């Protein structure tokens, strides 16, 4: 199962977008899914329901760090290469969806952004585009996380 498919599976179980994207990489991080789900809980809803940075994007950046975030903090070249890689991943997400803003992504889909989590039911899953975002974010993280020093 791909990271994107795993992310969608978590999302369809009711986890938020950040949790779903990051938990797809739990095994890669040497962590339990439960620990990752707990750590990422506050990043859903555009960080705590503020509808800022899309939670799937937050989870994507976390996942890229799983692979390339262990650079020596005094190695400026390695840090620069890692940041370049993260920016490339963000650029790809923006190229696909136009923004990394939760509010803007929801408005584009005709959804009213509210601060509190919505009840998960068939209507929610039919209308909300978030499963597409978590799938794409996980796919992008796998792509850019696999070779962080190459700066794809």
Contact 114, 34 (CB under 8 A): no
- Residues 3-47 have pLDDT tens digits of 999 999 999 999 999 999 999 999 999 999 999 999 999 999 999
Q: What is the reported pTM?
A: 0.93
Place of tokens 């620069």: 80
Contact 152, 85 (CB under 8 A): yes
> Which residue(s) pair with 53 in the sheet?
101
Q: What is the pLDDT of residue 152?
A: 37
Please give the structure tokens belonging to residue 112. 């009213």
Please give the structure tokens belonging to residue 72. 């020596």
């Amino acid at each position: 199962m791909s990271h994107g498919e795993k992310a969608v599976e978590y999302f369809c179980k009711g986890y938020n977008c950040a949790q779903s994207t990051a938990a797809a990489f739990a095994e890669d991080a040497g962590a339990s899914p439960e620990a990752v789900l707990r750590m990422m809980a506050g990043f859903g809803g555009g960080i705590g329901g503020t509808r800022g940075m899309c939670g799937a994007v937050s989870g994507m950046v976390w996942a890229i760090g799983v692979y390339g975030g262990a650079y020596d903090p005094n190695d400026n070249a390695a840090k620069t290469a890692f940041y370049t890689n993260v920016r490339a991943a963000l650029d790809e997400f923006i190229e696909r969806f136009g923004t990394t803003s939760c509010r803007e992504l929801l408005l584009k889909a005709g959804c009213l952004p509210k601060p509190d989590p919505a009840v998960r039911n068939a209507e929610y899953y039919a209308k909300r585009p978030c499963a597409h975002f978590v799938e794409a974010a996980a796919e992008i993280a796998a792509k850019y996380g696999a070779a962080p020093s190459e700066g794809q």
